[in-house]
Amino acid sequence: METFWQSLRYILRVLAKSPIFTIVAILSLALGIGANTAIFTLVNALLLRNLPVSQPERLVQLVAVRPDGKVPFSYPMFREVGRAQRVFTGLIGWGAGGMPNVEVNGVLAQNHLMTVTGNCYSELGITPLLGRLLVPEDSDPRSGTSSQVAVLGYEFWRSRFGSASDVVGKQIRVAGHPFTIIGVTRKWFSGMTTGEPPDITIPITAYPQLTEGNEFTLESRSLLWLSVTGRLKDGVTIEQARAQLQSFWPEVLLATASTENPGNLRGRSTFS
């Protein structure tokens, strides 16, 4: 469980760095949920424009803001939004996995971990330096299993593998669990935030096994841990995205309300 809280603290630090108030466009979705009023914000921020990826100006980030601070999404919420939305080419779910012990050739060291949905690299327009990158089939929760595969960041590959060209197919252990290396990202790839390049990236479905105990599951409606980034379809404006989100958001809340504390997500929803 400590690994989960490390991850959550890391995510909140990343969100805190985001220039949320220096935005190109903003959608504020005010949700009436009793005393815990939350604002779900869709932003096309300058932070995303600095990512070295294809058409970064089309990227938007979904952020939940409560009186007690910014919080990520639950996985069920991410999934329902993905099913209902029609304004993005796709939604990327991603989370900072903290700094677990990573074993390479018998040597342990702590390294930055990122966990993503399998469409992450294709949505960003990223190609590998070596091997391949994650694909949707690597993180399909419907299969009941997860591919035990990992993508290495450039600096991690250089420092811990000596830039070996035959690294693909080798194995590392993350928090004691084996992962097979499938690829290496290019030097300039910084992950989902500028200045925070991940050392290792794994499928989102593989992350729960790295947490201590059985308290962390993808299907939990009460654990808010997932950051969400989307790419607007060509020709779609922020205003059009606002209208489409307004049409389905109440249903998403009903479908993803926490069974532990249903009042946190139910209630009359208004949009601005």
Quote the CA–CA distance of 226 and 269 in Å, as a whole number: 22
SS3 149: strand
Q: Do 57 and 44 form a contact (C-beta atoms < 8 A)?
A: yes
Residues 23 and 110 in one domain: no
Residue finishing a domain among 188, 210, 232: 210
Residues 28 and 85 in one domain: yes
pLDDT band at 253 (very low <50, low <70, confident <90, very high): confident
**The domain containing residue 201 runs over which residues?**
96-210
Residue 108 within any structural domain of the chain: yes
pLDDT band at 217 (very low <50, low <70, confident <90, very high): confident
Residue 151 within any structural domain of the chain: yes
Q: Is 176 left (phi over 0), alpha (psi -120 to 50) or beta?
A: left
Residues 71 and 104 in one domain: no
Residues 65 and 150 in one domain: no
Residue 26 within any structural domain of the chain: yes
Residue 271 within any structural domain of the chain: no
Residue 174 within any structural domain of the chain: yes
Quote the CA–CA distance of 88 and 75 in Å, as a whole number: 18
pLDDT given at position 27: 35
Residues 61 and 144 in one domain: no
Instruction: For 60-87, write each residue's pLDDT tens digit.
Output: 888 765 677 667 889 999 999 999 999 9
134 has a pLDDT exceeding 90: yes
pTM: 0.78
pLDDT band at 33 (very low <50, low <70, confident <90, very high): very low
Count of structural domains within the chain: 2
Quote the CA–CA distance of 169 and 172 in Å, as a whole number: 10
96 has a pLDDT exceeding 50: yes
pLDDT given at position 49: 63
Residue 219 within any structural domain of the chain: no
Q: Quote the tokens at residue 67.
A: 């009186």
